[in-house]
Structure 1
Amino acid sequence: MEDNTNNSEVEQKSISGFKRFIYDWIFPIVLAIIATVIINKFLLFKIYIPSESMKPTLQVNDQLFVTRVYKPENLKHGDIIVFYSSELGDTLIKRLIGIPGDNVKIKGGEVYINDEKINEDYVKYPSSYDGEFQVPKGKFFFLGDNRANSEDARYWNNPFIDGKDIKGKAQLRVYPFNRFGFVK
């Protein structure tokens, strides 16, 4: 009779140990994975910089956290934005220069929005490109900070990006660690 009692106690302890393992290890790991997927899908994602088109603001191999954009109409001139270009078939990161309704003029490397020259102290490598763009409703106009070496809206067949193709706004540089901080 004692054998059955001991076996029953051992079984209960092993079931109790299994439940403890589920609650202590498996459950938190599953919750962490679910939380990570939700955050990545709806709140923010991480990107790396593959080119010099945003130099010196962003360097090649910088890694950034980007917050998802659900209302492109809330974006402001000068924001650094991640978007999809259907013309290039690629996701890009550039600075937002023109919002819907803006008239963007580029003359001698200077940029004017609605006939007002904008301060672009982040542009260290200007270009001599001249051109004018009227940004249509629901569209946005982007340029790289490294104007002398950026394949941006100035050179695309369709220089405007639809609001639905805007993915996120660059917020925080997380790598390299010595340049950790908010993106301006």
Structure 2
Amino acid sequence: MSDNKSFTKSIIYDWILPILAAIVIAYLINTFLLFKVYIPSESMKPTLNEGDQLFVTKVYDKNKIKHGDVLVFYSHELQDLLIKRVIGLPGDKVEVKDGNVYVNGDKLDETYVKHPSKKPGSFVVPEGKFLFMGDNRANSNDSRFWKDPYIDGKDIRGKAQVRVYPFNKMGWIK
């Protein structure tokens, strides 16, 4: 009888508790620190390709978001999580003309854009909102095409940090 109790205790302490602790820790990390995303389209090519998988860190302080950050956010209009590059911060005036983007009158040096689009646009980003575009401008359903081109700061989920798949392209996101 004592051996049976000892065996049960051993199972609980050696297996069940460590497994439960690992599940709780994984849940907490996924909820509060980082999560993994899959890239479903070519809208961020060449920075991110269809099928890439990334680790994304949660964004808590929206004031730390900078032009050029690659962020994951929820679009209420499209009812989906998207990943795009921040082009406009709250209060920015953004002009898109002849394939170039100007923020507050300054032309952006967008070396990451390999396929520009000729679609023009003019935006004044409201307070608390952000303007996003894909790097593959010729093939990106982004702010330029949405009925409401702005994403509220509360809908920003995280910042893309590192590509983890495919393994031969593993590395930090620029």
TM bucket (normalised to shorter chain) is: over 0.9
The one-letter amino acid of 1:157's match is K
> Deviation of residue 155 (structure 1)?
0.6
Instruction: Report the TM-score when normalising by structure 1.
Output: 0.93
> Deviation of residue 131 (structure 1)?
1.6
Instruction: Give the equivalent residue in structure 2 for 1:119.
Output: 109
Whole-angstrom CA distance in 2 between matches of 1:120 and 1:112: 11
Instruction: Report the TM-score when normalising by structure 2.
Output: 0.98
Whole-angstrom CA distance in 1 between matches of 2:53 and 2:25: 21
- Please state if 1:78 is matched with 2:68: yes
Q: Unmatched 5+ residue regions in structure 1?
A: 1-10
Whole-angstrom CA distance in 1 between matches of 2:71 and 2:77: 17
- Aligned partner of 2:100 among 103, 110, 118: 110
Instruction: Give the equivalent residue in structure 2 for 1:173.
Output: 163
**Aligned residues, how many?**
174
Instruction: Give the equivalent residue in structure 2 for 1:3.
Output: none
List 4+ stretches of structure 1 deviating above 2 A: none
> Deviation of residue 118 (structure 1)?
1.1
Structure showing the higher helix proportion among its residues: 1
Q: Larger C-alpha radius of gyration, 1 or 2?
A: 1
CA RMSD of the aligned region, Å?
A: 0.7
| Cα offsets for 1:60-91 (capped at 9, x unmatched) | 01000111111222111000000011111111
- Aligned partner of 2:124 among 134, 137, 147: 134
- Please state if 1:67 is matched with 2:67: no
- Aligned partner of 1:41 among 17, 31, 52: 31
